[in-house]
A and B are shown apart, each in its own frame.
Chain A
């Protein structure tokens, strides 16, 4: 069955870089697109970006300058890297196989 699971550090220092991994199973990254979505505690959803099955990437305009999404198809993994983190980047980070399959999310806290 289709599964996605996010992993990464739960705590990141301000101004540092966040690196998250989404490990997928039950489908191939060369056949399906994967997005990253985040949600600050108690707030709404924010689409961050997407890597398409062919490898093309698209990003949220507000995050584009510090966000990168990549993948390793042989390992069935999608990566998110975002630099210059601030406290407002504290959120649950989800990876999704659009639109129906979501990971459980991983909470990232940004603190000085």
Chain B
């Protein structure tokens, strides 16, 4: 199975700051990666698919990049509504797997 190592596990940042979350796959996943945002008590919401494609309706301050085994999610100009948990997921190969998650808080 492909293991997804996500870092950091938690992150504290200020409004307007740029935040980066990383995911490392145990093998090449050929951009088969999605990023999700989850707020307390809510279902996960898709942000990015295919590593760098922005899902419809997602603000442009979110962006995804990477290739091979290394991927990242960047949030530019952090807003209060971005406080949430973030998860990466590889869907290149079965079984699909999620990263452990990053809890983003305001400083």
Tell me the A residues contacting B by CB distance below 8 Å: 35, 37, 44-47, 49-50, 58-61, 94, 98-100, 102-105
Contacts and interface: CB of A to CB of B under 8 A. Distances in A.
A100 B87 CA distance: 14
B24 to A, nearest CB: 16
Given A47-B95, A47-B97, A47-B98, A94 B43 contact: yes
A98 B32 CA distance: 13
B87 A45 contact: yes
B95 A60 contact: yes
B34 interface: yes
B46 A100 contact: yes
Interface centre among A45, A103, A104, by most chain B C-beta atoms within 10 angstroms, is A45
Interface centre among A61, A94, A102, A103, by most chain B C-beta atoms within 10 angstroms, is A102
A35 B91 CA distance: 12
10 tightest A-B CB contacts, nearest first: A102-B43, A58-B94, A44-B101, A47-B96, A45-B98, A100-B46, A60-B95, A99-B34, A44-B100, A99-B46
Interface residues of B, number: 21
B89 interface: yes
A44 to B, nearest CB: 4
Contacts of B34: 99
A98 B96 CA distance: 11
B43 A99 contact: no
Contacts of A94: 43-44
B71 interface: no
Contacts of A45: 36, 38, 44, 87, 89, 98, 101
Contacts of A46: 98
Contacts of A98: 91
Given A44-B100, A99-B34, A58 B95 contact: yes
B101 A61 contact: no
A77 B64 CA distance: 34
